């Protein structure tokens, strides 16, 4: 089946930029999503990028997509303690006639003071 | 607040027992998804329902079953529980069934501990 890979942990200093990387196998993904899970909470949609885009910026968040290499990244500028969370990469894949998100294992972002 | 409600928030039970987890989707959402999140296996898709019918099945064990009722709430039944079933179970909803977007709205989860 299709696969999504992410590093399990990323540690950055407060105020630095965080870059969370993701590689995927489904080249037909039309939308690629980033979800955020704060401690003790459910997942919430953070941002997404459409497959015909290379970059999308939304305030402190920048999503980069390299379709050729099937590589997606999420950059968080000026990382704050409130950014501590698990970040999931989730390309939208298609199985039969149904669209399904294909989830990475999640990257836990740890902020050092 | 995502609008998705899950009960109970926490549940402690013994091996061999059976439990039912309940999910109320956002008002008007027809699709309900169930996920299992454990420390060693990340987020695993279990099953999806759309307007009362099963739409897609993931890594759901035969000991587990689910249904979606006419009022669109859903229940996940876990039986013959094993220690390894201890996990956080999430429900998520979205408006359509085959919509080609991936925005899901997640509940806060039900944490199951099997002793």
Asked whether residue B108 carries a pLDDT value surpassing 90, the answer given is yes
10-residue averages of pLDDT along chain A (113 residues): 89 97 89 93 93 94 96 97 95 76 93 91
E strands of chain A, at which residues? 4-6, 9-13, 18-24, 31-37, 43-50, 55-58, 61-66, 71-76, 85-95, 98-101, 107-112
Q: Contact at 8 Å (CB) between B81 and B19?
A: yes
Distance from CA of B113 to the nearest CA of A (A): 15
Tell me the shortest Cα–Cα distance from A98 to chain B, in angstroms.
Answer: 6
Q: For residue B56, which residues of chain A lie inside 8 Å, CB to CB?
A: 95, 98, 100
Average pLDDT of chain B, as a whole number: 92
| Beta bridge mates, B105 | B93
Q: Could you report the per-residue pLDDT of B13-42, keeping only the tens digit for each?
A: 999 999 999 999 999 899 999 999 987 667
Name every chain B residue with its beta carbon within 8 A of the beta carbon of A104: 42
**pLDDT score at A93:** 82
Provide residues of B within 8 Å CB-CB of chain A: 2, 4, 42-43, 45, 48, 55-56, 90, 92, 97-104, 106-109
Q: Quick one: DSSP state of residue B84?
A: G
C-alpha torsion A24→A26→A28→A29, nearest 10:
-50
* pLDDT-based confidence at residue B99 (cuts at 50, 70, 90): low
């Amino acid at each position: 089946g299709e696969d999504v890979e992410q590093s399990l942990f990323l540690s950055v200093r407060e105020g630095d930029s965080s870059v969370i990387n993701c590689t995927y196998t489904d080249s037909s993904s039309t939308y690629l999503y980033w979800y955020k899970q704060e401690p003790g909470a459910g997942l919430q949609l953070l941002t997404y990028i459409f497959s015909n885009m290379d970059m999308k910026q939304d305030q402190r968040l920048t999503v980069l997509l390299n379709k050729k290499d099937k590589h997606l990244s999420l950059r968080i500028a000026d990382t704050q303690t409130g950014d501590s969370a698990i970040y999931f990469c989730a390309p939208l894949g298609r199985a039969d006639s149904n669209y399904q998100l294909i989830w990475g294992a999640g990257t836990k972002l740890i902020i050092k003071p | 607040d995502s609008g998705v409600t899950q009960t109970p928030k926490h549940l402690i039970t013994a091996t061999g027992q059976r439990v039912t987890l309940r999910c109320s989707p956002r008002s008007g959402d027809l699709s309900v998804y169930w996920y299992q999140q454990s420390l060693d296996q990340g987020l695993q898709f279990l099953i999806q329902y759309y307007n009362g019918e099963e739409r897609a099945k993931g890594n759901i064990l035969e000991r587990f079953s689910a249904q979606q009722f006419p009022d669109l709430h859903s229940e996940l039944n876990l039986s013959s529980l094993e220690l390894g079933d201890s996990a956080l179970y999430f429900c998520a909803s979205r408006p359509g069934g085959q919509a080609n977007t991936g925005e899901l709205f997640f509940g806060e989860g039900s944490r199951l501990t099997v002793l």
